[in-house]
Chains A and B, each alone.
Chain A
Amino acid sequence: MSTTQESFDYSAHIPSNAEKFRQRTLPLLIFAAILVAIPLTGPSRTVYTLMHQMGINIVLALSYNMLLGRAGLLSFGHAVYFGFGGYFAMHAMNWIADGSGIWADFPVFLLPVLGFGAGALAGAVIGWPSCRRAGTTFAMISLGVAELIASGAFMFDSFFGGEQGISGDRMNGPELFGLTLGPISQVYWFIAFWTVVGVVGMYAFTRTPLGKLSEATRDNPQRVQFIGYNPQRVRYLVFIFSGGFAGLAGAMAAVNYEIFTPDAFSLVPSGFILIMAYVGGITYFVGPIFGAILLTYMQSMMSDFTDAWLLYLGVLFISIVMFAPRGLAGIVFGFSAGLRGPRPRAFLITWLTQLAGVALMLIGLIVLVEIAVRWSNGYGEVFAPFGLPLAQANPLSWLLVVAPAIAGVALSRRAARMREAQA
């Protein structure tokens, strides 16, 4: 029709193949390479357990971010789809053990495919009434549905297995890739494989027309109507996919733990998924991956060190909501962007000042919380970091609460002033 389209060279304005490789393919390859390299370090059983949980949570947090980050839908019930995927995989695992009909030929390794199906189906059923509206209404419906299913799960024992849940044995049926899935080091390959499938699948989704429309619907649902799309339908389709990937994570968990209980549906895991994704940073694709890795690590390691780890988690979450809404990924990318900016030196000084301020406030908080926890336990334990006993009657304890806190606030304010001066 117009001649400009032949004469105008638009290739200069779209990412070249080299750029695409560097920005998209390469990080995925590095991620896969790390997963392949981990077993070479000869990890202990604890490390394997931790890695498996991380893999599951990475897929789960990313699937959640398809809703919150990409489609602007805040859900308080994402564990529901994880739970349905896991339960269905659990039942399928038992059918495989029975070995009747087609189940005799179904490898346990492929259970996540069924988990995806179950999660997507749950998404298709529940999403139908939920996705007509976004915003607070959507959040409320998700909460109501989650509560409904969490309390209803105890009424249908044949599917949910009552309080004991459903358990199974993954070492049945045909083997795939020569994996019996018996030893934990073999389960690792199962988890690693499906983590990569999940990550690649969800990244690919962001590149499809539907993925782009999902972002468009988040930003401006009204305009989406006037480019010929129904925002409700966009949300609904995204919701189904999100449920599917959550179900995939659920099936990964089913194979890993060989048990699923109705607690998987409750608000606690749903809240944890939300916190993982948000702390990691919902505006970046990798954000939830960061969040899943960090919080899974904190969950398993910090609960050994302190009784108050949930309190620290709460403080971390609130701080991110208030002061760093782009999450950890935002902090990381902001840091690298600042260093490549016009005044890297000034930026670095400001950044370090801020870091020192945060660290000092954290010291004050930790001393306060740990003393309080020991006082509350009533066992007469004394908080003694680095061998320094800090009883609650010791004035030094309170000095170590107040002084770092004040210094930390002062440094943060200074950093804020420096940022203003630079802007």
Chain B
Amino acid sequence: METIVFALVNGVIYGLLLFMLSSGLTLIFSMMGVLNFAHASFYMLGAFFAYTIMGATSFWLALIFAPILVGLIGAAVERYGLRRVHVNGHVAELLFTFGLAYLIEEIVKIFYGKTAVDYRVPSILDFPAMQIYGVDLPAYRIFMLFVAIAMLVGLWLLLKRTRAGLIIQAALSHPHMVGHLGHNVPLIFMAVFGIGCALAGLAGVIAGNIFVTDPSMAVQMGPIVFVVVVVGGIGSLEGAFVASLLIGLLQNLAVGVNASFADIFGFLGLSAASEVGSITVSSLGPVLPFLLLVLILIFRPQGLMGEREL
């Protein structure tokens, strides 16, 4: 029981974290057609900036300023890089962000070294807040939950209650129409790109200290965020939300299952000594998102909740 509860709680938190990353990526992808390969790099920047700011001041200032800084860098990348490449088409844009991811990783390695930095949970939140079925739930995890939900509400209010949100929503489903309405499309693109990157940075700030903050964190997170966006469906924030939770839970639940294929498919005559039989479900954790991605692209290319095909 406790393993399941533990996996559920962690799955939800991890899922919300994924949503923090994938919401920005979905917005950018749906509006601009750019699949931002470097999105997880901004997540990484968030974590490293937070580490630096926290070292100089406090975690709370880092929570505010690291995402802003990341957002500004994102906006600058859009303005001076992507916009230039845009005329050469989506493949060129994808290649640009691919190169950018590469570059950011190398720059981070120079500034922060090749190994993990000591980015810690603030001591004020470093205590077990409650127990569920005998499992300690650290206060910081609950704090993450709150930040994620606050972000969710904030994003929802921005999209549903403000004029800018309405334009963004219109652009999600009909990217070519917004220009005809007389809006400054380049400015909207730059803002959306910046906000998307800032959200990724925020995810880095709150996740970097419970996972590991090192230069490979972008490469590890990036492909999974892609999976979320594609599985959820292009242009669908709801889809990204569902897919984030789905993958978060799937991965965390799989890790908790010690059964091997032989245990599950033993009735088919699969022996535990055989290679396939000895694979455990828990070891499948890292593979599952990609399996899901490939299956979705083959059988439901529009994603779980998307309206447009990729």
Judged by a CB distance under 8 angstroms, whether B65 is at the interface is no
- B301 contact set on A, CB distance < 8 A: 133, 137
- How far is the CB of B39 from the nearest CB of chain A, in Å? 13
Contact in complex: B110, A311 (CB < 8 Å): yes
- B297 contact set on A, CB distance < 8 A: 129, 137, 140-141, 144
Which residues of chain A from 87 to 136 have any CB-CB distance to chain B below 8 Å in the complex?
Answer: 129, 133, 135-136
Contact in complex: B92, A321 (CB < 8 Å): yes
Which of B133-141, B180-188, B288-296 forms contacts with chain A?
B288-296
- B279 contact set on A, CB distance < 8 A: 155
Contact in complex: A144, B294 (CB < 8 Å): yes
- How far, in angstroms, from A155 to B301 measured CA to CA in the complex? 28
What 0/1 readout, one digit per residue, does chain A (150-167) give for beta carbons within 8 Å of chain B?
A: 011001111000000000
- How far is the CB of B86 from the nearest CB of chain A, in Å? 11
- B84 contact set on A, CB distance < 8 A: 322
In chain A, what residue has the closest Cβ to B229? Answer: A140
What 0/1 readout, one digit per residue, does chain A (246-282) give for beta carbons within 8 Å of chain B?
A: 0000000000000000000001000100110010000
Contact in complex: A373, B275 (CB < 8 Å): no
- How far, in angstroms, from A155 to B275 measured CA to CA in the complex? 8
- B310 contact set on A, CB distance < 8 A: 133, 135-137, 140
What 0/1 readout, one digit per residue, does chain A (70-99) give for beta carbons within 8 Å of chain B?
A: 001010100000000000000000000000
Judged by a CB distance under 8 angstroms, whether B273 is at the interface is no
Contact in complex: B98, A274 (CB < 8 Å): yes
Judged by a CB distance under 8 angstroms, whether B223 is at the interface is yes
- How far, in angstroms, from A136 to B310 measured CA to CA in the complex? 7
In chain A, what residue has the closest Cβ to B87? Answer: A325
Contact in complex: B290, A74 (CB < 8 Å): no
Contact of B99 among A72, A321, A325 (CB under 8 A): A321
Q: Tally chain A residues at the interface, Cβ within 8 Å.
A: 42
- B112 contact set on A, CB distance < 8 A: 376
- How far, in angstroms, from A16 to B98 measured CA to CA in the complex? 43
- B33 contact set on A, CB distance < 8 A: 136
- How far is the CB of B70 from the nearest CB of chain A, in Å? 19
Judged by a CB distance under 8 angstroms, whether B51 is at the interface is no
- B35 contact set on A, CB distance < 8 A: 136, 139-140
Contact in complex: A140, B230 (CB < 8 Å): yes
- How far, in angstroms, from A152 to B284 measured CA to CA in the complex? 8
- A151 contact set on B, CB distance < 8 A: 286-287, 290
Which residues of chain B from 13 to 66 have any CB-CB distance to chain A below 8 Å in the complex?
Answer: 33, 35
Q: For chain B, what secondary structure do more than half of its interface residues adopt (helix, strand, loop), or is it mixed?
A: helix
In chain B, what residue has the closest Cβ to A266? Answer: B219
Judged by a CB distance under 8 angstroms, whether B88 is at the interface is yes
Contact of A321 among B95, B219, B287 (CB under 8 A): B95
Asked if A314 meets B106 with Cβ closer than 8 Å, knowing A137-B301, A321-B95, the reply is yes
- How far, in angstroms, from A326 to B197 measured CA to CA in the complex? 30
- B88 contact set on A, CB distance < 8 A: 325
Contact in complex: B110, A376 (CB < 8 Å): yes
In chain A, what residue has the closest Cβ to B278? Answer: A155
- B275 contact set on A, CB distance < 8 A: 155-158
Contact in complex: B98, A325 (CB < 8 Å): no
Judged by a CB distance under 8 angstroms, whether A143 is at the interface is yes
Beyond known contacts A136-B90, A275-B99, A321-B92: 8 more, CB 8 A cutoff: A129-B294, A129-B298, A140-B297, A145-B290, A147-B290, A148-B294, A311-B107, A376-B111
What are 29 of the A-B contact pairs (CB < 8 Å)?
A129-B294, A129-B298, A135-B91, A137-B309, A139-B35, A139-B94, A140-B226, A140-B297, A141-B297, A144-B290, A144-B293, A144-B297, A148-B294, A151-B290, A155-B279, A157-B275, A267-B219, A271-B98, A275-B99, A308-B106, A310-B106, A311-B109, A314-B106, A318-B103, A321-B95, A372-B110, A372-B111, A376-B110, A376-B111
Instruction: Give the A-binding residues of B (Cβ under 8 A).
Output: 33, 35, 81, 84-85, 88, 90-92, 94-96, 98-100, 102-103, 106-107, 109-113, 219, 223, 226-227, 230, 275, 279, 283, 286-287, 290-291, 293-294, 297-298, 301, 309-310
When A and B form their complex, which 5 residue pairs have the shortest distance between CB atoms, in order from nearest?
A311-B106, A314-B103, A144-B293, A318-B99, A137-B310
